[in-house]
Amino acid sequence: MIVYPVLAGKIVERGLTKRAVASELNVTERTFNNRLKGKGDFSWWDVVTMQNKFFPDVEKDELMKKV
């Protein structure tokens, strides 16, 4: 189950791959998927990096909204 549905949805909506986002965060795709599922935590640096690079029009709180 995805714990961060807004983030996961925005990735798909913008035609990005999880691999591309993971690469930007310097983690493996598996680690990124685990974080999306709540099996790991995103650091503040991760959130800032994702917003700046991929989602500058989405507020951080909205992007990281949990189920």
pLDDT tens-digit readout, 52-67:
999 999 999 999 999 8
CATH class as words, domain 5-63: mainly alpha
Q: Are 27 and 13 in contact (CB under 8 A)?
A: no
Q: Are 3 and 38 in contact (CB under 8 A)?
A: yes
* pLDDT tens track for 15-38: 999 999 999 999 999 999 999 999
Q: Give pLDDT, residue 60.
A: 97
- pTM across the whole model: 0.94
**Which pLDDT band holds residue 7 (cuts at 50, 70, 90)?**
very high
Q: Give pLDDT, residue 27.
A: 98
Domain residue ranges of the chain, discontinuous segments joined by +: 5-63
Q: Are 50 and 27 in contact (CB under 8 A)?
A: no
Q: Give pLDDT, residue 8.
A: 98
Q: Are 61 and 47 in contact (CB under 8 A)?
A: no
Kindly give, in sequence order, each residue whose CB lies less than 8 Å from that of residue 4, ignoring residues fewer than 6 positions away.
35, 36, 38, 42, 64, 65, 66, 67
